Amino acid sequence: MIGIDWGTSSLRAYRLASDGTVLARREVRRGILTIEPGGFPDALQEVAGTWIAEGERRVLLCGMVGSRQGWVEAPYLPCPAGIDEIAAATIPVPFQGAEVRLVPGLTCRDRHAVPEVMRGEETQMIGAAAGLDGTEVTICLPGSHSKWARMERGRVTGFTTHLTGEAFAALAGHTILARMLNPSAPHHARGFARGVARAKQPGGLLHHLFGLRALSLFDEVSEEEAASFLSGLLIGHEVAAALEEGVAPPVILVGAPALTSRYAAALDGFGIPHRAAEPDVAAAGLHMIGERLP
Amino acid sequence: MIGIDWGTSSLRAYRLASDGTVLARREVRRGILTIEPGGFPDALQEVAGTWIAEGERRVLLCGMVGSRQGWVEAPYLPCPAGIDEIAAATIPVPFQGAEVRLVPGLTCRDRHAVPEVMRGEETQMIGAAAGLDGTEVTICLPGSHSKWARMERGRVTGFTTHLTGEAFAALAGHTILARMLNPSAPHHARGFARGVARAKQPGGLLHHLFGLRALSLFDEVSEEEAASFLSGLLIGHEVAAALEEGVAPPVILVGAPALTSRYAAALDGFGIPHRAAEPDVAAAGLHMIGERLP
């Protein structure tokens, strides 16, 4: 089969053997925001046409491709939901030459009835929790919109999203902090650790943000470490909030090492065990859901 | 005497009688960022020249005019500091035709040694706390950089700054929230109250920010109320953090009614008594410090 994690800015395609082995992969900057209206079939043909010509007949898509701005809108599936519910809720997509289906996103409500949504991460989570079906698991997917999910017996029971990555860019680029830091400066481990340590202190995030400015006024934070301090501060506040909601260690971190290593350092700062997920969790999840399609 | 609150973007000048009565006032968009290097004497002449020609001989300046980017840099005075310490720490500014002095800003450290700074607000606080010398007072000055100060027997004993106003602009304008809200929409009381109520719930600010996006995806927050929801959320988080540090009600709110009324509503949401400061607190503070100049 072919599995595709089709997000906002990029597309990752996998050709998968029947045991889930990744036979081939392609990653292209063809996120849904780059696709013209009506252009999805051509884009799929472009990235997976040769595999289809070679005989693949089943394609499973996950991610923002199932959003209102995507190919076909797949309604959010309410939690708790596991592989079986997700496979049963996939929806067919009209396409010539292969049977294409879309994985739905998930939704849940917190105890105050505020909604949550994800698209694509559910597939990565299913893959990341493979083999842990009997246990309670906490999975963290850092990013622009970081996700923390609780899974139990292979089903996502609830999750929270934090606007951490986007908040970093907005605050680093469009407040007085922009004068004292370079958002793309190399990672500075000490600055990051200082930010995490600050997040553990009282006073609140909005106060801690001004404190970074004040530290720089007194030359108590260097230009080299300021961006990492801000990153540590925001990630630290995210981790603190996630811990308050409750986690089941070790927290499984999913994502690119450049980012998950920061979350690993932050979790270390809070004394919480963690481990990295296996690579290619999206491919694993697509395979696992693909095996249970209707 | 002449008192001038000279900030980053605007300048408020007062001609004051010896009992502190405001005889005349001028407000011009001549904040320090609009002044060319070396242009401060001309700007002062421009705004207060006629008063000086009519016989005023003493001018007291407060605000960002005493910063590194201002006329002369006045070192920050450490807290606790009251009128007497502030008056003694004013510094002379060379000017032809009048005796000009600058009020220093204040600094303090929280229990974790992170520094805090203010410039100009100390003068407003002195004015706002006039007549309350024996009591413990909490003063809040909302703004881009909101200040919460504790005063005791007329002295500022400590304070915290929150980047609330700037964070609102950055998050409303430069994250996914920008798609669903109009930062300059009219104030929406219900949306604001919903944001404040959300701030009282667990989950953390970064999670609550994404929740606003999710509410809009499900049409559970209207476009009209979204900006006020965000404002209530941020101000609510600021107030919650300030209350955790401890306040002495009623909190005295200083500033323009359009903004202080939001803080009043947020404090109502937390059940904390508050009252508005008298108008012209900067003029009152300048007068009070002016009476004690060396």
Residues of A in contact with B112 (CB under 8 A): 198, 201
Query: What is the SS3 assignment for B75?
Result: coil
What pLDDT score was predicted for residue B134?
74
> Does residue A135 carry a pLDDT above 90?
no
What pLDDT score was predicted for residue B211?
98
**Inter-chain residue contact B214 with A160, CB threshold 8 Å:** no
**Torsions phi, psi for A111 (to 5 deg):** -65, -10
Sorting pLDDT into bands at 50, 70 and 90, what band is B205? very high
Residues of A in contact with B167 (CB under 8 A): 171, 175, 206, 209
Count of all residues that appear for chain B in the document: 294
Task: Return the DSSP state at A220.
Answer: -
Give the whole-angstrom CA distance, residue A51 versus residue A31. 20
What pLDDT score was predicted for residue B150?
96
Give me chain A's average pLDDT, please: 96
> Does residue A133 carry a pLDDT above 80?
no
In DSSP terms, B26 is beta-bridged to B13
What pLDDT digit, counting tens, does each position of B123-170 carry? 999 999 998 877 899 999 999 999 999 999 999 999 999 999 999 999
B253's enclosing H/E stretch is strand B251-253
Query: Percentage of chain B with pLDDT > 70?
Result: 100
Sorting pLDDT into bands at 50, 70 and 90, what band is A132? confident
Q: Are A153 and A134 in contact (CB under 8 A)?
A: yes
- In Å, how far is B204's CA from the nearest CA of chain A? 5
Give the whole-angstrom CA distance, residue A160 versus residue A152. 16
How far is C-alpha B50 from the chain's CA centre? 29
Q: Are B183 and B234 in contact (CB under 8 A)?
A: no
Closest CA to B86 of B185, B10, B156, B187: B156
What pLDDT score was predicted for residue B132?
86
The percent of chain A in helix, strand and coil, each rounded to the nearest 5, is: 40, 25, 35
Q: Are B67 and B92 in contact (CB under 8 A)?
A: no
Give me chain B's average pLDDT, please: 96
Q: Are A171 and B234 in contact (CB under 8 A)?
A: no
**Inter-chain residue contact A170 with B166, CB threshold 8 Å:** no
Using CB atoms, which residue from A167, A202, A213 is nearest to B206? Answer: A167
CATH number belonging to the domain at A164-276, selected among 3.20.20.70, 3.30.420.310, 3.30.470.20, 3.40.50.300: 3.30.420.310
CA distances from B138 to A112, B85, B252 (A): 32, 20, 6
How big is the CA angle at B259 (ends B254 and B261), to the nearest 5 degrees? Answer: 85
Report domain extents, chain A: 2-119, 164-276
What pLDDT score was predicted for residue B135?
84
What pLDDT digit, counting tens, does each position of B230-287 carry? 999 999 999 999 999 999 999 999 999 999 999 999 999 999 999 999 989 999 999 9
Using CB atoms, which residue from B161, B175, B207 is nearest to A170? Answer: B175
Q: Order across the sheet with B251-253: list the strands.
A: B155-162, B146-152, B136-141, B251-253, B274-276
What pLDDT digit, counting tens, does each position of A140-186 carry? 999 999 999 999 999 999 999 999 999 999 999 999 999 999 999 99
Q: What is the mean pLDDT of residues B57-65?
A: 98
ipTM: 0.96
- In Å, how far is B215's CA from the nearest CA of chain A? 6
Q: Order across the sheet with B77-78: list the strands.
A: B77-78, B106-109, B115-118
> Does residue A131 carry a pLDDT above 90?
no
Residues of A in contact with B116 (CB under 8 A): 210-211, 214
Using CB atoms, which residue from A162, A176, A204 is nearest to B207? Answer: A162
Residues of A in contact with B202 (CB under 8 A): 241, 244-245
Residues of A in contact with B160 (CB under 8 A): 203, 207
What pLDDT score was predicted for residue A19?
97
What pLDDT score was predicted for residue A27?
96
Q: Are B257 and B264 in contact (CB under 8 A)?
A: no
A-B Cβ pairs (cutoff 8 Å, strict): 156
Sequence-distant (≥ 6) Cβ neighbours of residue A265 within 8 angstroms = A189, A192, A193, A196, A232
Q: What is the mean pLDDT of residues B203-222?
A: 97
Query: Percentage of chain B with pLDDT > 90?
Result: 96
Query: Percentage of chain A with pLDDT > 90?
Result: 96
Whether residue A94 has a cis bond before it, omega within 30° of 0: no
Nearest chain B residue to A172, by CA: B170
CA distances from B293 to B52, B60, B71 (A): 19, 9, 20
Residues of B in contact with A232 (CB under 8 A): none
Q: What is the mean pLDDT of residues A206-229?
A: 97
Superfamily of domain A2-119: 2-keto-3-deoxy-galactonokinase, substrate binding domain (3.30.420.300)
- Examine domains A2-119 and A164-276 and report if their fold is the same: yes
What pLDDT digit, counting tens, does each position of B12-52 carry? 999 999 999 999 999 999 999 999 999 999 999 999 999 99
